[in-house]
Amino acid sequence: MRLCIVTPSEEFAASAGVRIRYDRLQAAAGGMGHAIDIVPLGEFQSRGDFRHDAYVFAKTYSPVAPVLAWRMRQSGKRVGLDVFDDYFTQHDDARLLRYRQWFSAMQAAMDFYLCSTSSLARAIAPLTEGKPLCVIADPAPAIPSDELEQRLRQKQQHRDAGELRVLWFGIGDNPYFPVGLRDLVNHGSALSDLSKSGRAIDLRILTNRRALNPEGLALLRRLPVPYTIEEWTEEREADELTRADVAFLPVSAQPFSRVKSLNRAVTALVKGTQVLTAGFPLYAPLDPFIYRNAAGLAADFAAGALRLRPETCAPFLQALDHLANPVLGVESLFELLSSIRAMEDVSPSKSQAFPPDVLVVHGARPDGRVHKLAPAFGGLTVKGPDCSENWNCNIRFDCTGTAVRVFVEDSAADFVAPPFRDHLKPHGMIGNKSFFELMPDAQAPIIDAAASRLLASPTLPNLAAAAPALRNQTAAILKALFPGAHLVVNDRLALSHPSSWSSA
């Protein structure tokens, strides 16, 4: 069986997350007669690109992803979503609205869901509508016991009795959650405790450049020990873990952090680096081999009896094999895929087009790439009432003073529900397309006049105030004209309440 991981971009396909998760699963799958390919979203230009048996979307937070996923499923493919991060369950956080809307738009096309931890599975289970949800741990790198023992002995031989080399590495910022460098600083007291052992602390920080803005740099000044900062690269991470005595990996207790995987601790341990953590016990499954107490770590350094040492390599690797075995992950994944009966292929012949059962609605801040790609997969494009772009869409909601007029392109009019087809009046050309206009006597839902007036001055506050009513009513009109069609929102602002689009 051939599986394709759909990623947002080539850059993401080369990221640490993909390297840790999919590259290792890919290597294991090759030895089991399966194939896993990693393909950026933008490489799908037509249904002729659907060459795999199954597709898994990973962090593709683009409005084109639901259109593409639906077409794949209609083409007889198994389609799933790998939930990397929990941006979907914080319903009281308006900043994450666009992620919740995207997840809702993806649901119709999903056959199954994946995630990397049981805690994340419990968090998102209420959103999966009873569809299969499989936990596949981020795989650990393969390392022979004798190689790990050698790394640990080398560190013992070269350890400086007067200094502890400590490393913090990772993404230092997040636009929604106080993590990364904030975790490091908020738990800096553990570094103070470590320094009480009498050894000087040489702290190295490896993180992304974006995190090293004035706010991030000012935050780091609160650390109680001297530090050196470098921009993260895969090579620097490997070099620093090779020289480090300790990886300091504190974790905050917020929902986003509590469902993360073990991969950072595993990455440090397989390099022969001790792990000191603080805060939420994310790495508890590795407790026999890591530290939650700086004093205990310092005492074990002094005694020469660290939790991860040559004598404990065998039980550590056994635990790792149980927690993060890539072969077991691949077996679980392909067993799941084999158990799912794909939707019957209802895609048209190559000489025909897909039926117009997907409506891509452009909002206040639409993405032009989505507008161009949607028609390739049979999606009708809709100029929403708050869309300022004058794109030549199939359906238009045009504001004229305090009214919103609805226009349907001639080629789409044949698909309008019969009760409303007789209420379409020829209008003429708009751009290079000929349109009908939906007449007011159609008994369709009417756009709220008060909301329409706000669009006469399309400032951000006015758009925010008008958006809920406009979008509820726009969605109701579209559902009346094209019953059964899936609505996909193309809007980077996502100003409305989530139900205004997704439940319509």
3-state secondary structure 408-441: EEHHHHCCCCHHHHCCEEEEEEECCEEEEEECHH
In the three-class reduction of DSSP (H, G, I as helix; E, B as strand; rest coil), residue 95 is classed as: helix
The Cα–Cα gap between 497 and 119 comes to 27
In the three-class reduction of DSSP (H, G, I as helix; E, B as strand; rest coil), residue 107 is classed as: helix
Residue 381 in tokens: 């494009």
The full set of domains in the chain, from first to last, is 2-139+329-339 (3.40.50.2000), 145-322 (3.40.50.2000), 358-502 (no CATH)
Question: How many other C-beta atoms are found inside a 10 Å radius of the C-beta of residue 335?
Answer: 10
pTM for the model stands at 0.85
pLDDT of residue 60: 92
Question: How many other C-beta atoms are found inside a 10 Å radius of the C-beta of residue 132?
Answer: 15
Q: Name the strands in the sheet holding 78-83, side by side, starting at the edge strand that comes first in the sequence.
A: 35-40, 2-7, 54-58, 78-83, 112-115, 133-135
DSSP-derived secondary structure letter, 5: E
DSSP-derived secondary structure letter, 347: P
Packing angle, helices 97-107 and 64-74, rounded to 10: 10
433-438 vs 424-430, strand pairing mode: antiparallel
Q: Name the strands in the sheet holding 227-231, side by side, starting at the edge strand that comes first in the sequence.
A: 227-231, 200-207, 163-169, 246-248, 274-276
The Cα–Cα gap between 332 and 491 comes to 36
Q: Which helix (H) or strand (E) holds 214?
A: helix 214-220
User: What radius of gyration do the chain's Cα atoms show?
Assistant: 27
Question: 238: buried, middle or exposed (CB in 10 Å: 19+, 13-18, 0-12)?
Answer: exposed
Strand partners, 203: 166, 227
The Cα–Cα gap between 109 and 128 comes to 11
In the three-class reduction of DSSP (H, G, I as helix; E, B as strand; rest coil), residue 94 is classed as: helix
DSSP-derived secondary structure letter, 20: I
CA 300 to chain centre: 40
pLDDT of residue 172: 94
- Residue-level pLDDT, tens digit, the chain, 504 residues: 999 999 998 887 777 777 788 889 988 998 888 999 999 988 988 878 999 999 999 999 988 898 889 889 988 999 999 998 999 998 888 888 889 988 988 998 999 999 999 999 999 999 999 999 999 999 998 889 999 999 999 998 888 778 899 999 999 999 999 999 999 999 999 999 998 888 899 999 999 999 999 999 999 999 999 999 999 998 999 999 999 999 999 999 988 999 999 999 999 999 999 999 999 999 999 999 999 999 999 999 988 899 999 999 999 999 999 999 999 999 999 999 999 988 777 666 655 556 677 889 998 888 887 888 777 777 889 999 888 888 989 999 987 766 788 999 998 998 899 889 889 999 999 989 999 999 987 766 666 666 667 766 767 677 677 777 777 888 888 988 998 888 888 887 653 333 334 433
The torsion defined by the Cα of 48, 52, 56 and 61, in degrees rounded to 10, comes to -20
Which distant-in-sequence residues (6+ apart) come within 8 Å of 311 by Cβ?
none
**What are the distances in angstroms from CA 79 to CA 8, 59, 201, 205, 493?**
16, 14, 49, 39, 27
In the three-class reduction of DSSP (H, G, I as helix; E, B as strand; rest coil), residue 286 is classed as: helix
Question: How many other C-beta atoms are found inside a 10 Å radius of the C-beta of residue 30?
Answer: 12
pLDDT of residue 444: 67
